[in-house]
Amino acid sequence: MQNDLPKGFRAGAAAASFKKAGRDDLGLIVSDTPAVLAGMFTQNLFKAAPVLVCQEILARGRAVRAVLANAGQANACTGEEGLANCRATQAMVAGLTGLGQDEILPLSTGVVGAHLKMDLWLDAVPALVQSLGSRDAEGFTRSFMTTDAFPKFATRDVALAGGTVRLTVMAKGAGMICPNMATMLCVALTDAQVAAEPWQAMFGRAVNKTFNRVSVDGDTSTNDTILGLANGASGVAAQGPEDIGLLEEALTAILGQVSYMLVKDGEGARKVIHITVSGAANDADAELVARSVGHSQLVKTAIYGGDANWGRIVTAVGYSGARFDPAAVSMKLCGIERFRKGCPVNEDQETALTELLKGEDVQVDIDLGGGSGSYTFKASDLGHEYVTENADYRS
Q: Which is nearer to a copy of itself, 130 or 388 (CB)?
A: 388
Q: Kindly tell me which of 32 and 358 has the beta carbon lying closer to a copy of itself.
A: 358
DSSP letters for 195-257:
-HHHHHHHHHHHHHHTGGGEESSS---S--EEEEEE--TT--B--HHHHHHHHHHHHHHHHHH
Task: Work out how close the CB of 365 gets to a copy of itself at its nearest, in angstroms, rounded to a whole number.
Answer: 16
Q: Is 89 assigned a catalytic role?
A: no
209: annotated binding-site residue? Answer: no
Q: Which is nearer to a copy of itself, 63 or 352 (CB)?
A: 352
Q: Min. distance of Cβ 92 from a copy of itself in angstroms?
A: 23
Q: In whole angstroms, how close is the CB of 323 to a copy of itself at the nearest point?
A: 8
- Whichever of 83 and 246 has its CB closer to a copy of itself, that residue is 83
Q: Degrees (nearest 5) of the Cα angle 208, 228, 134?
A: 135
- Interface residues with a copy of itself (CB under 8 A)? 42-47, 74, 76-81, 111-115, 175-176, 178, 180, 217-222, 295-298, 301-302, 304-307, 309-312, 314-319, 324, 326-327, 329, 338-339, 341-344, 382-384, 386-388, 390-395
Q: Give the count of beta carbons closer than 10 Å to the beta carbon of residue 80.
A: 8
The answer to whether the annotation marks 267 as part of a ligand binding site is yes
19 is known to lie in a ligand binding site = no
> 304-310 long-range CB contacts below 8 Å, 24 or more apart?
304/270, 304/271, 304/381, 304/382, 304/383, 306/354, 306/357, 306/358, 307/357, 308/333, 308/338, 308/350, 308/353, 308/354, 308/357, 310/338, 310/339
97 is in an annotated binding site: no
Q: 235 vs 305, which CB is nearer to a copy of itself?
A: 305
Instruction: Determine the Cα–Cα distance for residues 102 and 62; give it in Å rounded to an integer.
Output: 9
Rounded to a whole number of angstroms, the minimum distance from the CB of residue 384 to a copy of itself is 5
The least CB distance from residue 18 to a copy of itself, in Å, is 15
What Cα–Cα distance (Å) separates residue 12 from each residue in 4, 31, 51, 153, 334? 13, 12, 22, 16, 43
Nearest CB to a copy of itself, comparing residues 245 and 326 = 326
Which run of H or of E encompasses 187? strand 185-190
Cα–Cα distances (Å) from 171 to 146, 185, 188, 281, 383, in that order, read 11, 6, 8, 35, 23
Tell me: is residue 172 an annotated ligand-binding position: yes
DSSP string, 263-274: HHTSTT---EEE
Beta bridge partners of 152: 171
User: Is 44 within 8 Å of 221 (Cβ atoms)?
Assistant: yes
Contacts of 351 by beta carbon, 8 Å cutoff, 6+ apart = none
The catalytic position among 78, 89, 109, 183 is: 183
CB 139 within 8 A of CB 13: yes
C-alpha 48: how far from chain center: 16
Judge whether 390 is annotated as a binding position.
yes
Q: Which residues are catalytic?
A: 183
- Residues annotated in the binding site for substrate, as ranges? 146, 172, 183, 267, 390, 395
- Residues annotated in the binding site, as ranges? 146, 172, 183, 267, 390, 395
